[in-house]
Amino acid sequence: MQIHLNNNKKNSKMKLTVISNYGSEVKEISPSATVEQIEKTMDSINWNLFHQVVLSINDSSWIEVGGNLKDDGLSVTYEENGRQYIIDEPPSSVDGMKKILLSYHAGDGRFKAENVFI
C-alpha cells in the first residue's frame, strides 16, 4: 500500500462544516478549522441523529465523517486527486471518527495507513 502525504495540507486552511438532517441543514463552523474546533464540534453533536462533518481544503480535496450511532451506522469518505474513497470498515465510535479527522487535518496520512479505503 502506497501512501502519499500532502505536506501542504498541514499549512492549508480547512473549512469545517456540519451537515444535519440528511443534508437539509448546513452550518459552516469555521473557514480555517483548528484542532480544538474539530474536537469541540464532534463532541457537541448528538450522534443518535444523522450528521456529517466535513473538513475541506477545496471542492476536490475533503474528508467527511458521518452517520449516526443508531440506525445508519458511521462512515468515512474522502476525495483526493479527483477520486473518492470510502472506508471499508467504518469506525465504531465518535472517537474513531474524530481520530480520522484530526489525522486529515494534520496531513500526516495516518488515517489512510490505519484504515482500508476502497
Q: Is residue 53 part of a domain?
A: yes
User: Which residues, including other chains, have CB under 8 Å from residue 31's CB and lie 6 or more apart?
Assistant: 13, 15
Q: Is residue 1 part of a domain?
A: no
| pLDDT digits 0-9 by tens, 92-118 | 999 999 999 999 999 999 999 999 999
For the chain, what is the domain count?
A: 1
Per-residue confidence (pLDDT) for residue 1, from 0 to 100? 37
Residue 5 dihedral angles phi and psi, to the nearest 5° = -95, 135
Domain that holds residue 14: 7-113
Q: Is residue 21 part of a domain?
A: yes
Q: Is residue 14 part of a domain?
A: yes
Q: Is residue 20 part of a domain?
A: yes
Q: Is residue 2 part of a domain?
A: no
Q: What is the pTM of this model?
A: 0.89
Q: Is residue 80 part of a domain?
A: yes
Q: Is residue 66 part of a domain?
A: yes
